[in-house]
Structure 1
Amino acid sequence: MESQLMWTPGLAIVAVAVICVTHLIYRWRNPKCNGVLPPGSMGFPLIGETIQLIAPGYTLDLPPFIKKRVQRYGPIFRTSLLGRPIVVTADPEINNFIYQQEGRSVELWYLDSISKVFKQDGEARTTAGGVIHKYLRSITLNHFGSESIKQKLLPDIQRYVNKVLHQWSKQPSVEVQRGTLAMLYDFNAEKMFGYDAEKSSENISDSLITLADGFMAFPLNIPGTKYHKCLKAQKKLVNMLKGLVKERRQANSTAARGDFLDQALRDIDNEQFLTEEFVVNLLFGILFASGSVSGSLTLMFKLLADNPSVVRELTAEHEAFLKQREDPQSPITWEEYKSMTFTIQVVNETLRLSNALPFLLRRTVKDVNIKGYTIPAGWTLMVANSALHLNPDTHKDPLAFNPWRWKEQDQYSISKNLQPFGGGARQCAGADYSRVFMAIFLHTLVTKYRWTKVKGGEICRSPILKFGDGIHISFSEKA
């Protein structure tokens, strides 16, 4: 009897604990909502379904995390990543609705693990609305928009691409994803703040590649993990940019250079939200994002290697307009770029299949009602724009590489059915620049170089597009 009485308080504590844990699990799996939540599972407490999201999938199709749940729940479902409630939408109609709600019921957002990469002095600036967003878009378009491309960037891109391909031709082979990342980062850093990869003591592209490699890794910040290396690279790069900004400002010579950094520093006197710290964050964010088409360029090599008829038509197109020139060695003009009909079709098709940005993130600032569901305020929206590109109702045989599918489509149809850079007010300001860069890269490749795939090419989405051990290409200059 005494023994039974001794155990009674212990059993009571255990019972209370079990009830509390059960209640917490129930609340976790059944979040509060002033309506009907989309179907789905919240996964395990704290980590949610994060591990399933970053599990690799070896396909050009939708990331397995999204495809499996679309098949189970439909094109809109709920989940949880790193303890944050999320609604994923693979419905093009809902996606367009969300794009149009920018600044009304939704705002730009990043997962906490991603926001941490962009933190400076404990503060994350990964959202920007109103005046700030207008400024960011304006300064980016001013230096990387269509007018800047026409006036000065076209010959600079061609010069740099040819320089890089020439360097590659002197090597036995090149792992092209790393190579194209370095090319994009170094060139864009040159245009933004005068960086010279050959003279600088800081290797910006190495830091950015390390950062990119751990960007979507599981956020385990212990030595040896990709995420830990990512944060170290971020800190190193931010410190370098801070030094650059202070040096440039103290030199008081911003009017002489006319680059991206000069404009940002001049604008500090005119825009209340601009500070040196904000300029550093601006440089870091735009420079990091500028490597996003590397996956598309890398996939392009695989697609071309598997489709020699596309290479033949590309080569014929570029050789034809070279023959029409008085000087075949002169830089490409804007008119020539616009005449690259088949090249632009190849770029479109590569962007459609690569889905370098497999999803975009937004956060609801108030309850959003759509198609009978309610998405509560404060929830994250994961917009799977890749679902539009791989929808068989929109694109026949969607996993096939078929540049000719764009031949008869007008500009309205293309913009409606191809959104690799997002949509609405937040469409990437560097969209035109990325397309031009890919086209000039193709032009230089097919007119001046021969290339063969040496090894590799296994596609891996985790969920960002990667290529296993990489795609290794051997280059040689044409006689």
Structure 2
Amino acid sequence: MVVEIYFIVICLLTLSLAFLLTKFLSKSKIKNVPKGSMGYPLIGETYGFLKALRQDKGSEWLEERVAKYGPVFKTSILGSPTVFIIGQQGNKFVLGSSHDVLSSKKPPTLQRIFGKQSLLELTGSRFKLVKGEMLKFLKPECLQNYVEKMDELVKTVLLRELKENKTIEVVRLMKKLTYDMACNILFDIDEQTREVLYEDFILAFKAIHSLPINFPGTSLWKGLKARERIVDKILPIMNKRREELSKGVLSSTNDMISCLLAIRDENNQPLDEEMIVGTFIFIFVAGHDTSATLMTLMIWKLSRDQEVYNNVLEEQMEIIKQREGNEDRLTWGEIQNMKYTWRVAQELMRMIPPLFGAFRKTIEDTNYEGYDIPKGWQVYWASCGTHMNKDIFENPEKFDPSRFENRTKSIPPFSYIPFGAGLHYCIGNEFARVQTLTTIHNFVKTYEWSQMNLEETITRRPMPYPSLGLPIKIKPRCNMS
């Protein structure tokens, strides 16, 4: 009986949305909307798009439509009419446009998980205010102070997880490691609370790219329930830190929650509680998972490419060799000397970018390359449109870290965009770099490993991960000299 009711509701919603969309398009004064298919009512082409991403065939999904409709085409994704804009100029238009042309407002699923007032949704002066304050925690001067703490945390987690020779899943390990780093270094969340919240953050992240259907058992429903539990846990922490800030026990530089609580706008008013909670969830969910993706793919690549592995190992061992005495603590200067290791990471992010692309939303009716894009429609950019373009990167299918070393042909702006670009450049890119290099340094110098399934493919859910979780056989390195 319950299933029948759900089916009837879905049918009614589908018919209603189809009627409203048809009515809107027929009355619209917009004359030259891009060509394309809107797919099925309600779900549009969401299922096909997400299926292609899960199979790591997102670029093929795009190429089919670009071949049929051109580099600008329309569809419907995650419950909203969407225009895909592919290529360097498209990236520049989407990522470089001001907030009064394209806002950061996201599809309904992302809004419901992150909240309507998270950093992801802010515009104008409010966006600049919050982003500016948060950058104080992520600029190089501050990151230098995090290196020692990160190094110790990585060693502790690896020692705890890898006590004996055994098999581990790298995806699970890296997600837990980056989560612990965010809790410990950025938010000062105690160990008991972080353990309780961990699974809920995983569920929330899975929900942001799910179908916009909120029925018991669906990914969105599970994600929203997880969000409720996260909010229930974080509100008491916020209240306590707000009180400690007022008493002078804490300062705004203690952690990011305290930073957000201490912000005052132009009218000397604090941020809304919903905005602080939403920004906390956004940074936690998005930040720790993107770093975990890159760190996992580094281990995956080193497992499969002996030449790259040897070069990384040589660089990391040379860093250890240059240390004075018995010092075993990583330094900021050593991080800067990991040039080849980071070029490997850069090339991985070119070929398998953490973000396949992202959404913006039109504030008013707008125009691009002669096409009209109605107010309220989503606009989507895709990194593969430039990352795998042979006119920008020579032999784009070849893995070549040297393309990021002393480039004779500079990469055009808005072409290499693993961290976004323009107004929307990721504020955590340097934090992710230090996280990744610290982890790979400790992993390579301490352990030897082999991938258990060389046929393991990459899947996106929505970040790119080895489909089986990357199980490896691992043991302590025999010779540390």
Shift in alpha-carbon separation, 1:33–1:316, aligned structure 2, 3 A: farther
Residue matched to 2:424: 426
CA–CA distance in structure 2, aligned partners of residues 366 and 38 of structure 1:
16
Shift in alpha-carbon separation, 1:48–1:386, aligned structure 2, 3 A: same
CA contact (8 A) 2:43 2:211 kept: no
Shift in alpha-carbon separation, 1:418–1:60, aligned structure 2, 3 A: farther
Structure 1: 5+ residue runs without aligned partners?
Answer: 1-19
How far residue 125 of structure 1 moved from its aligned partner, in angstroms, is: 7.3
Residue matched to 1:132: 126
Q: Secondary structure at the match of 2:159?
A: helix
Q: Secondary structure at the match of 2:36?
A: coil
CA–CA distance in structure 2, aligned partners of residues 223 and 23 of structure 1:
26
Residue matched to 1:388: 386
CA contact (8 A) 1:180 1:294 kept: yes
Shift in alpha-carbon separation, 1:254–1:412, aligned structure 2, 3 A: farther
Per-residue CA distance 1:304-360 (angstroms, 9 max, x = gap): 211011010111112122212214534333332222221121110121122111112
Shift in alpha-carbon separation, 1:106–1:57, aligned structure 2, 3 A: closer
The answer as to 2:197 corresponding to 1:204 is: yes
Shift in alpha-carbon separation, 1:411–1:352, aligned structure 2, 3 A: same
Q: Secondary structure at the match of 2:259?
A: helix
Structure 2: 5+ residue runs without aligned partners?
Answer: 1-15
Shift in alpha-carbon separation, 1:125–1:145, aligned structure 2, 3 A: closer
CA contact (8 A) 2:456 2:467 kept: yes
CA–CA distance in structure 2, aligned partners of residues 290 and 209 of structure 1:
12
**Cα root mean square deviation, aligned:** 2.8
| 1:446-457 matched pairs, under 5 angstroms | 446-455=444-453, 457=456
The answer as to 2:153 corresponding to 1:154 is: no
CA–CA distance in structure 2, aligned partners of residues 221 and 115 of structure 1:
13
TM-score w.r.t. the length of structure 2 is 0.86
The answer as to 2:169 corresponding to 1:175 is: yes
Q: Secondary structure at the match of 2:475?
A: strand
CA–CA distance in structure 2, aligned partners of residues 174 and 399 of structure 1:
30
Shift in alpha-carbon separation, 1:51–1:343, aligned structure 2, 3 A: same
Residue matched to 2:411: 413
Per-residue CA distance 1:104-125 (angstroms, 9 max, x = gap): 41111210122111238xx777
Residue matched to 1:141: 135
CA contact (8 A) 2:178 2:292 kept: yes
Residue matched to 2:5: none
CA contact (8 A) 1:84 1:379 kept: yes
Residue in structure 2 matching 1:66, options 62, 68, 74? 62
Per-residue CA distance 1:365-420 (angstroms, 9 max, x = gap): 12322222121222110111232212222223323322222223279638654211
Moved more, 75-84 or 251-260: 251-260
Residue matched to 1:437: 435
Residue in structure 2 matching 1:116, options 96, 108, 112? 112
Please identify the structure whose Cα radius of gyration is greater: 1
CA–CA distance in structure 1, aligned partners of residues 286 and 336 of structure 2:
25
How far residue 29 of structure 1 moved from its aligned partner, in angstroms, is: 7.0
Residue matched to 1:284: 281
Q: Secondary structure at the match of 1:97?
A: helix
CA contact (8 A) 1:344 1:439 kept: yes
Residue in structure 2 matching 1:344, options 342, 356, 375? 342
CA contact (8 A) 1:38 1:373 kept: yes
CA–CA distance in structure 2, aligned partners of residues 281 and 297 of structure 1:
26
Residue matched to 2:40: 44
| 1:74-473 matched pairs, under 5 angstroms | 74-119=70-115, 126-150=120-144, 152-170=145-163, 172-197=166-191, 199-200=192-193, 202-251=195-244, 252=247, 253-255=249-251, 258-268=254-264, 271-272=268-269, 274-291=271-288, 292-327=290-325, 329-409=327-407, 413=411, 417-455=415-453, 457-473=456-472
Residue matched to 1:14: none
Q: Secondary structure at the match of 1:190?
A: helix
CA contact (8 A) 1:37 1:375 kept: yes
Q: Secondary structure at the match of 1:262?
A: helix
CA–CA distance in structure 1, aligned partners of residues 218 and 113 of structure 2:
15
Aligned residues: 456
How far residue 140 of structure 1 moved from its aligned partner, in angstroms, is: 2.3
CA contact (8 A) 2:115 2:274 kept: no
CA–CA distance in structure 2, aligned partners of residues 412 and 434 of structure 1:
24
Per-residue CA distance 1:203-238 (angstroms, 9 max, x = gap): 222221122233312233223332222111111111
User: Residue type matched to 1:471 in 2?
Assistant: L
CA contact (8 A) 1:33 1:374 kept: no
